[in-house]
Structure 1
Amino acid sequence: MRFPLAAVALAAPVLLAAAPAPSPDLAAVQASLKGVQTMTADFTQTDARGQVLTGTLQLKKPGKIRFQYQKGVPLLVVGDGHALTMIDYSVKQVSRWPIGSTPLALLIDPDKDVTRYARIAPSGSPDTVLLAGQDAKHREYGSITVAFQRSASAPGGLSLEGWTVLDAQNNRTTVRLTNPRFNVPIDDSAFRWTDPRPAGRH
């Protein structure tokens, strides 16, 4: 099954050879990302085939994230601080990737310096800031474009609105967030999961 960050994933991603000099908005994005230690939100995910799924998001730095899909969807995506894991309970399949080899590292790795590998992309609206990034040394990891809305009450004055991931096979997945809540308590138990594989096959 195709990984749903290309199953978990507000503008076309931009592939970057090198990042330009930091702009004021880029510095603001960096401040916003560093200012978010935890976050919860509802999400709507649309994949390359137009399939739409909904669910809830929980994020906790460093490296923890959980996409809990709507009732009846047997998928779960969890980052436990070390690896990003996709669990498909319908076929009892588990796939894992190092956190740093996924575009979502930009959101959940507090040590990432976005000014080194990302740039501000045209948004068409003064209230929307788009951050487009890709690791130039590892284009196989794909690219990500993250959308922020200017908001005085959000960390760094920018509220995370969603993102689009383009994977190595050019499969695009878009995630839109609603009802975000920043820096709220989230227990580490939220980032545990039940392994569906038979004993001895882990």
Structure 2
Amino acid sequence: MTFRNYALMLAPVALIAAAPSTAQSQAERMARVTTHMKTVGTMTANFTQTDRNGGAVTGKLLLKRPGHVRFEYQKDVPLLIVADGRALTMVDYEVKQVQRWPIRNSPLAALLDPGKDLARFGKLVPTSTDDVISVEVRDPKRPEYGTITMIFVNKPGAPGGLTLNGWVALDSKNNRTSIRLSNVSYNGAIADGAFSWKDPRPVRRKS
């Protein structure tokens, strides 16, 4: 696997929408999502990532707000994606390549920052049922940062009564990737060390 295959595994999971539901007002639905985002400190989940060609891989997700995430792929995918609070790092152990960029320049910024003003940067996407809330987030002044559409599903007992079901991310080059989550658990202890990574690049010795 190379960076080209998984370069931005961060594009929105759009639902095919029917007419928007009227049981809850737009403001009420957005308020529920905002409450959920502000009350989630950590999250663990299994994920399935699907690219625009239908290829799928699985893995384990760890998230710790603000700014920390780890996507650890199945054993035959030598790729790791980690955010350490400052930068988002993609490590390809097969080709010994590392790529880093500021978290704010990625669609994942909306997921990693609990203080993100969703009312300002997000808009509700119509869904076919009241049990699902879909929010598309992008900064119109920074289209190069991409778009993320997060999908929330009603779940009693979860933060804000919602659980994150997945998302679709779309980068500025229209690279699209869908993430679907399962076995989601919230607000357990996750050590900061879980977001470290081993640099595969050879060490250059000074002569």
Normalised to the residue count of structure 1, the TM-score between the two structures is 0.91
Flag as ranges the 4+ runs of structure 1 deviating above 6 A. none
* Gap regions ≥5 residues in structure 1: 14-21
Which amino acid is the alignment partner of residue 14 of structure 2? A
CA distance 1:116–1:5, shift in 2 (3 Å): farther
Partner of 1:163: 167
Deviations 1:140-193 (A, max 9, x none): 111111000011211011100000001111111000000000000111111000
1:5·1:165 contact (CA, 8 Å) conserved in 2?
A: no
**Could you tell me the percent identity over the aligned residues?**
50
2:64·2:190 contact (CA, 8 Å) conserved in 1?
A: yes
Partner of 1:33: 37
2:127·2:133 contact (CA, 8 Å) conserved in 1?
A: yes
1:121·1:131 contact (CA, 8 Å) conserved in 2?
A: yes
User: Residue 86 of structure 1 is aligned with which of 73, 86, 90?
Assistant: 90
State which structure, 1 or 2, has the greater radius of gyration over its C-alpha atoms: 2
Partner of 2:19: none
User: Residue 62 of structure 1 is aligned with which of 46, 66, 80?
Assistant: 66
1:55·1:68 contact (CA, 8 Å) conserved in 2?
A: yes
Which amino acid is the alignment partner of residue 64 of structure 1? H
Per-residue deviation, 1:8: 4.3
CA distance in 2, matches of 1:121, 1:5: 26
CA distance in 2, matches of 1:93, 1:39: 28
2:36·2:160 contact (CA, 8 Å) conserved in 1?
A: yes
Alignment pair present for 1:11 and 2:14:
yes
* Gap regions ≥5 residues in structure 2: 17-25
User: Residue 48 of structure 1 is aligned with which of 40, 48, 52?
Assistant: 52
Normalised to the residue count of structure 2, the TM-score between the two structures is 0.89
RMSD of aligned alpha carbons: 1.9
1:3·1:86 contact (CA, 8 Å) conserved in 2?
A: no
User: Residue 104 of structure 1 is aligned with which of 105, 108, 124?
Assistant: 108
Which amino acid is the alignment partner of residue 119 of structure 1? K
Partner of 1:16: none
